[in-house]
Amino acid sequence: QVQLQESGPGLVKPSETLALICSVSGDSISNDNYYWAWVRQPPGKGLQWIGSKSYSGNTYYNPTLKSRLTASIDTSKSQFSLRLASVTAADTAVYFCARQTNGNNYGSYWNFDLWGRGTLVTVSS
């Protein structure tokens, strides 16, 4: 059974960098059938895609966040991570990691088929 588990700081000060890790168990993070993604949800609001990355290095970022984002994958630890720089209160949200089917492969359609439980990150001094 594949599981995703986010870990993060909970509280980040304005202007600092938010760093999140998603640990993958039950499957190889090097599986070419998937990308590994981050989605966030501000309190009481809807879902916003942040970015997606494949183990081979292909990376896509939300243009509204791109200048502040860095995504990476550590295959040795079966983890993928996100760094968001210069955070403000607007970055306060529940951050989900998700597995995304690789639409470049036949029979896959870029949907998010598995999600972590999410971790709340609050930006406040």
Partner 1 sequence: SYELTQPVSVSVALGQTATITCGGSNLGTKYVHWYQQQPGQAPLLVIYRDSDRPSGIPERFSASNSGTTATLTISRAQAGDEADYYCQVLDNYIWVFGGGTKLTVL
Among 21, 65, 85, 112, binds partner 1 (CB under 8 A): 112
- Residue 69's Cβ-count burial label (10 Å; 0-12, 13-18, 19+) is middle
Q: Please, are residues 111 and 104 in contact by the beta-carbon 8 Å criterion?
A: no
Residue 80, interface with partner 1 (CB under 8 A)?
no
Give me the least distance between CB of 14 and partner 1, in Å please: 26
Give me the least distance between CB of 96 and partner 1, in Å please: 6
Residue 109, interface with partner 1 (CB under 8 A)?
yes
How far is Cα 68 from Cα 86, in angstroms, rounded to an integer?
7
Number of residues that bind partner 1 (CB under 8 A): 22
Residue 49, interface with partner 1 (CB under 8 A)?
yes
Q: Please, are residues 81 and 71 in contact by the beta-carbon 8 Å criterion?
A: yes
- Residue 82's Cβ-count burial label (10 Å; 0-12, 13-18, 19+) is buried
Residue 116, interface with partner 1 (CB under 8 A)?
yes
Structure tokens at 83: 């760094």
Stretch that binds partner 1, among 7-15, 19-27, 55-63, 81-89 (CB under 8 A): 55-63
Q: Which residues bind partner 1 (CB under 8 A)?
A: 37, 39, 46-49, 52, 60, 62-63, 96, 100, 103, 109-113, 115-118
